[in-house]
């Protein structure tokens, strides 16, 4: 990103949300891949095509507890004229058949056990005299006779090898996001670990002389750092690994020290100190260490935004996103700019959230031509989504965020959305979407 271009947008001209997103996402690269144990790979993206080296199931096996038979031996079987077969073997799941099924014989077989040579059909216990045989306590039934009382079609209760997954089959293509349900499938083809795009390490730094870490004593004039922990959680929920560096005071030395700790990661997120009216210390330090743009984005909350590249001593650059200080602005700006960045680094194809249409219950006002992201509670009722704002939308009021599960969009050029109108909503928390019938 050219310094000139970025700086052109400082102050006077505003960037649209899309322009800002485009600049930022262009600077984000998909990270390298790593081998991850299966159980830890959830949520990460496959870096290579996964082809099965084996058939699943590996051997043709029984779908029932029963008797493996030659179908041609039993075509005359009926309840009143059962066919008697000599039981020659018993095959448990995990063991191999010892004997071939020859005319007039059968092997007792358990679910999942391999079908012996010669047999083509499994007759379930229920269709034999198995209960009486068990009553007669014929130990493990071998040797002895079994009566086949009901006929099944040829091939019944036999699961052919490769029925589920064939050797050489593409199980998942590169780019697949691994969900919990996928893990069983990957385990079944024998993978102990998988190649996935590594998770980005995201350094988080709060800035401001007024900030105190939660849990510590609050002196007059100070406030607790709400952004640090909020951003830690947001980074984790987006798939990144948070590295919370703490609070940097508004002075050159402390900022520089803290920035040194931040540059080891893949992305740096700071909050506060970047808006137009701020003392220039944060902006000066950042500008001295890289190419930073200090932007005004046509959105509310979250207008002031800094973005650029910071360099360490070796010349390595990492992208830096400077979020506004107000906690609501910081979280909304995170949602719009940082979450897609982290998802792009993770290799996730769709970096943005899907939106749903909802009917607005109250109204959203837009008086200065910016895109409004109103915090709403969305729920599903009477066949559709309805959204209500969470009250006073001041960007300093975290309470407006607490109950919300979505962000409703009022477009830049629209002065208000009235009750009863349709509104587009980014659902930020599906687990909190209530379904009312």
Q: Which residues bind Mg ion (CB under 5 A)?
A: 208, 272-273
Q: Residue 29 and residue 185: Cα distance in Å, rounded?
A: 29
- Judged by beta carbon distances under 5 to 8 A according to partner kind, the member of ligand AMP, Mg ion, none in contact with residue 114 is none
Inter-residue contact 338 to 363 (CB < 8 Å): no
Of 310, 312, 248, which is closest to residue 281 (Cα–Cα)? 248
> In angstroms, rounded to a whole number, what is the distance separating the alpha carbons of residues 195 and 168?
18
105 binds, among ligand AMP, Mg ion, none (CB under 5 to 8 A by kind): none
Closer residue to ligand AMP, CB minimum distance, 275 or 428: 275
Selected from 128, 243, 326, 366, the binder of ligand AMP by CB under 6 A is 326
Q: Select from Mg ion, ligand AMP, none the partner in contact with residue 346, using the beta carbon and a kind-dependent cut-off of 5 to 8 Å.
A: none
Stretch binding ligand AMP (CB under 6 A), from 30-38, 171-179, 202-210, 338-346:
202-210
Q: Are the CB atoms for 334 and 234 separated by under 8 Å?
A: yes
The binder of 395, among ligand AMP, Mg ion, none, by C-beta within 5 to 8 A per type, is none
**From CA 435, how far away is CA 137, in angstroms rounded?**
56
Per CB under 6 A, the segment of 219-227, 331-339, 404-412, 419-427 that binds ligand AMP is 219-227
Contact partner, 210, from Mg ion, ligand AMP, none, Cβ < 5-8 Å per class? ligand AMP
Question: What are the tokens at 250?
Answer: 């508004």
The answer to the question of residue 223 lying near ligand AMP (CB under 6 A) is yes
Taking the C-alpha atoms of residue 131 and residue 140, their distance in angstroms, rounded to an integer, is 13
Site membership for ligand AMP, residue 209 (CB under 6 A) = no
Start-end of H helices in 55-161:
130-135
**296-325: which residues touch ligand AMP (CB under 6 A)?**
324-325
Backbone angles phi, psi at 128, to 5 degrees: -130, -175
Report the partner that residue 239 touches, choosing among ligand AMP, Mg ion, none (CB closer than 5 to 8 A by kind): none
* 209-216, long-range: CB < 8 A, 24+ apart: 209/249, 209/250, 211/247, 212/247, 213/246, 213/247
Shortest spacing between CB 250 and Mg ion, in angstroms: 6
CB under 5 to 8 A by kind: which of ligand AMP, Mg ion, none does 223 bind? ligand AMP
Handedness of CA 410, 437, 433, 40 (dihedral sign): negative
- Find the shortest distance in angstroms from Cβ 25 to ligand AMP: 23
Q: Please tell me whether residue 15 binds ligand AMP under the rule CB under 6 A.
A: no
Measured CA to CA in angstroms, residue 68 lies from 77, 116, 120, 137 at distances of: 15, 7, 7, 21
**Residue from 116, 322, 327, 347 that binds ligand AMP (CB under 6 A)?**
327
Residue closer to ligand AMP by CB (options 77, 281) is: 281
Site string for ligand AMP, 244-283 (x = CB under 6 A): ---------------------------xxx-x--x-----
Question: Whole-angstrom Cα distance, residue 156 to residue 75?
Answer: 13
The binding site for ligand AMP (CB under 6 A) comprises 206, 208, 210-211, 223, 225-227, 271-273, 275, 278, 324-327
């Amino acid at each position: 990103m050219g310094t000139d271009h970025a700086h052109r947008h400082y102050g006077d001209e505003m960037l649209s949300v899309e322009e800002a997103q485009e600049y930022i996402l262009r600077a984000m690269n998909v990270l390298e891949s790593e081998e991850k144990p299966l159980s830890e790979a959830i949520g990460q993206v496959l870096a290579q095509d996964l082809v099965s080296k084996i058939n699943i199931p590996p051997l043709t096996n029984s779908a029932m507890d029963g008797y493996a038979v030659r179908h041609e031996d039993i075509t005359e079987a009926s309840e009143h004229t059962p066919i008697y077969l000599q039981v020659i073997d018993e095959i448990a799941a995990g063991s191999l058949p010892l004997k071939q099924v020859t005319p007039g014989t059968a092997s007792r077989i358990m679910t999942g056990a391999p079908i012996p040579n010669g047999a083509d059909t499994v007759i379930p216990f229920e269709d034999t005299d198995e209960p009486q045989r068990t009553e007669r306590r014929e130990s493990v039934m071998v040797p002895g006779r079994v009566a086949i009382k009901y006929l099944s079609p040829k091939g019944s209760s036999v699961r052919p090898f490769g029925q589920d997954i064939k050797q050489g089959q593409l199980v998942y293509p590169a780019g697949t996001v691994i969900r919990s349900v996928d893990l069983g499938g990957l385990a079944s083809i024998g993978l102990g670990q998988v190649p996935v795009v590594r998770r980005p390490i995201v350094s988080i730094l709060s800035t401001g002389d007024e900030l105190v870490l939660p849990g510590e004593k609050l002196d007059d004039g100070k406030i607790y750092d709400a952004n640090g922990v909020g951003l830690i959680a947001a980074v984790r929920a987006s798939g990144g690994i948070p590295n919370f560096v703490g609070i940097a005071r508004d002075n050159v030395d402390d900022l520089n020290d803290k920035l040194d700790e931040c540059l080891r990661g893949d992305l740096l997120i700071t909050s506060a100190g970047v808006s137009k009216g701020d003392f220039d210390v944060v902006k000066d330090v950042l500008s001295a260490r890289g190419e930073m743009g200090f932007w005004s984005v046509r959105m509310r909350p979250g207008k002031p935004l800094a973005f650029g590249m910071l360099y360490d001593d070796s010349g390595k650059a990492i992208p830096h996103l400077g979020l506004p200080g107000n906690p609501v602005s910081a979280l909304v700006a995170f949602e719009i700019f940082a979450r897609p960045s982290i998802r792009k680094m993770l290799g996730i194809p769709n970096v943005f959230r899907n939106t749903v249409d909802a009917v607005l219950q109250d109204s959203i006002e837009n008086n200065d031509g910016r895109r409004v992201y109103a915090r709403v509670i969305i729920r599903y009722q009477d066949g559709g989504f309805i959204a209500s704002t969470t009250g006073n939308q001041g960007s300093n009021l975290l309470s407006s965020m607490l109950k919300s599960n979505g962000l409703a969009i009022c477009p830049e050029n629209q002065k208000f959305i009235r009750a009863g109108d349709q509104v587009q909503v980014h659902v930020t928390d599906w687990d909190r979407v209530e379904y009312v019938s």
